[in-house]
Structure 1
Amino acid sequence: MNTKITISLFSLLFTVGLQLPSVAETVLEKVNRTGVLTVGVREDAIPFSYSNDSNNFEGYSVELMQLIHRRLEQELNKPIQIQFKPVTIENRFSSVENGTVDLVCGADSITVEREQTVEFSIPFFTTGIQLLVQEEDAERLDPTRITEEELEMVTTNPVSIAFIQGTTTDTDFKPIYPEADWQILGSRTEGLRRLKNNEIDAIASDGILLIGEIWKQGEDIQLYRLIPQEPLTFENYGCIFPQNNLEWGKLINSTITSSENTEELWNKWFNSETGRFPYQRFSDDTANRSSTEPTQPRRALW
């Protein structure tokens, strides 16, 4: 009798034990155990992360994640291997959410919707949605300069604007100009080719990424212009990492605010005179604006 009771109690405890939820391992615990930090990198987000002629990843975000990696080694007081894993526009957030990668620092705009599934760091870069057009069309298509007469003409012949699905241009910006002829792109590379061949009037995307695409294809920047001069929306980029990783987030944020990033890396990549991709840093007031807030009230032009 006692033996049966013991066996029954053991079986019950074993069954209940199987049903108890396991405590999720944090990123820092996993990295400390495995000795490997896995980071996600895009191949098409110049100048943040891209594949160079030697098929190696480079870019500002690649170096930012390498800086985070070095500071992580100091934190854990042991050598850690950094492993680069390609991610795409489509799977970048799911790769972080399911733990395939521990970190992605790229052209990833901070939005309330995205914060439901992943954590964001503090912003490390601010850009905004602009239209890339051919220089000869810049004045005619600039939505902040168009006249009433030109508006009537544009409304009759809708401006064709290309965009990439799954981006904030698609979800937040496209509805502002519902009368435009919106055309889906597979990539900014495709968009620049179609713009050059006069198949579309403009490409809508983050200004810095459009500049990067021109550089990637070796095109003459003087043949194109970003309009309007002040972006139509503002986008704060942040690193993304799995939820419930407070200490990991603190390390990422402290790296972003360090002088190694804000001075050394920034000047190397974005200094207005010496950087590889000269870019005007936005003011604090501008950077704090919502990504979906237009620069000023405007009517739908297209």
Structure 2
Amino acid sequence: MGRRRTALFLSAFALLFSAAAEAATLDRIRDSGVIRLGYREDAAPFSYADQTGLPAGYTVQLCQTVVNAVRAQLQNDAIEIKYILVTAETRFAALQSDDIDLLCGASTVTLERRKEVDFSLITFVTGSSVLYRKDGPANFLDLVGQKVGVRAGTTTDEGLKRALKEEGIEAQTVALESHEAGLHALETGEIAAYFGDRAILAMLGSKAENPANLVLSDRFFSYEPYALALPLGDSAFRLLVDTTLARLYRSQAIAKIYRANFGNSQMSDLLRATFTLQALPE
């Protein structure tokens, strides 16, 4: 009987601890009056610092919509946003160390990453591709013996090495500290091509000194589903985030956010289908 009581006590304690962990984010926000959003400054048009230095981008706007939902649920319109700069290398560690509450970047959902953090409903769908110079290699197979740049600390880094191996191409991969550094290396001829998520490459190419000198490949080398990353095991907060996104997807608001960040670029059929499939009912 003593062992049974002990087992029941431990089970009850575990349930209480689990419930407390699940509510941790919203409780902390309620107590502090602050929600901390992690953002990147080099992942336009998803997450970047604008000309005034303020966080901006498609994913940042999605997070701002989540903040409004948090304010409504906690009945506190005075909850402040604290933006915390993260990098491709530090973003998930910032969640694990409780430095941020929500990651508003260009983060690909992978099963390996789900061991460390949770993810919301999918927020965008893209894939890795290649940006070339017009006077350089014309296609991926021409990269034999060339230097190919990629942003360090991203899934595209691994994707590039995998794509080169699958094609039997011996090329030197160069890990760069930012997408802007990759663009500079490409324009100055330090690398023959730059590998990255196609949506980011499209925006990057438009910022070049001479965009007409660059060519963006139509080929996709991977499937990259983006989502908002949040603390592992906090189901209450995740439900609020997913509910906010599902409501966006059921309305025209998501189209407005898309146009505000991608301009005249047409939304792909795949992305439209993604929003439709995730417009979950209440």
Q: Aligned pair in 2 of structure 1 residues 50, 174: CA closer, same or farther (>3 Å)?
A: same
Match of 1:241 in 2: 230
User: Who is 2:254 aligned against?
Assistant: 262
Counterpart-to-counterpart distance in 1, 2:162 and 2:179: 20
8 Å contact kept, 2:44–2:57: yes
Equivalent residues in 2 for 1:135-150, closer than 5 Å: 135-137=134-136, 140-143=137-140
Give the Cα–Cα distance (whole angstroms) in 1 for the partners of residues 139 and 272 of structure 2. 24
Structure 1 residues 165 and 282: CA distance shift in structure 2, 3 A: farther
Instruction: Give the alignment of 1:258-297 within 5 angstroms.
Output: 258=248, 259=251, 261-271=253-263, 273=264, 278-283=265-270
What is the Cα deviation at residue 62 of structure 1? 1.6
Structure with greater Cα Rg = 1
TM-fit CA distance, 1:78 = 1.3
The DSSP-based 3-state class of the residue aligned with 2:105 is coil
User: How far, CA to CA, are the matches of 1:230 and 1:282 in structure 2?
Assistant: 16
Aligned partners of 1:181 and 1:90: how far apart in 2? Answer: 21
In structure 2, what residue type is equivalent to 1:189?
A: E
Instruction: Say if 1:134 and 1:49 are closer, same or farther in 2 by CA, change over 3 A.
Output: same
Structure in which a larger fraction of residues adopt helix: 2
Taking a change above 3 Å as real, the CA distance of residues 78 and 287 of structure 1, as seen in their structure-2 partners, is: closer
How far the C-alpha of 1:287 sits from its partner, in A, is 6.4
1:209 aligns with 2:200: yes
Structure-2 separation of matches of 1:243 and 1:71: 20
Q: Residue 167 in 1 paired to residue 154 in 2?
A: yes
Which residue of 2 is the match for residue 34 of structure 1? 32
What code does the residue aligned with 1:113 have? E
Are 2:92 and 1:93 equivalent residues in the alignment?
yes
Q: Which residue of 1 aligns with 2:106?
A: 107
- The 3 A distance-change label for structure 1 pair 233 and 282 is farther
Distance between the aligned counterparts of 1:98 and 1:198, measured in 2?
39
| Change in 2 beyond 3 A, CA 1:164/1:286 | farther
Look up the match of 1:122.
Answer: 121
2:66 is aligned with 1:68: yes
Displacement, 1:36?
A: 0.9
Partners of 2:163 and 2:221 within 8 A in 1: no
Q: CA–CA distance in 2 between the matches of 1:89 and 1:82?
A: 21
Report the count of equivalent residues.
251
Aligned counterpart, 1:230: 219
- SS of the residue corresponding to residue 200 of structure 1 reads coil
Letter in 2 for 1:194: A
Distance in structure 1 (CA, Å) of the matches to 2:107 and 2:260? 21
Residue 278 of structure 2 is matched in structure 1 by: none
Q: Deviation of residue 120 (structure 1)?
A: 0.6
1:234 and 1:287 in contact (8 A); partners too: no
The unaligned stretches of length 5 or more in structure 2 are 1-16, 276-282
Report the Cα offset of residue 250 of structure 1: 1.5
Structure 1's unaligned 5+ residue stretches are 1-20, 289-302
**Worse-matched range after superposition: 261-270 or 124-133:** 261-270
Q: Distance in 1 between matches of 2:55 and 2:198?
A: 22
Q: Does 1:194 align with 2:185?
A: yes
SS at match of 1:90: coil
Alignment identity in percent? 28
Q: C-alpha displacement at 1:284, in angstroms?
A: 6.0
SS at match of 2:161: helix
Please state if 1:57 is matched with 2:55: yes
TM (normalized to structure 2)? 0.80
Partners of 2:55 and 2:271 in 1: how far apart?
30
The CA distance in 1 between the partners of 2:173 and 2:223, in whole Å, is 20
Give distance in 2, aligned partners of 1:73 and 1:46: 27
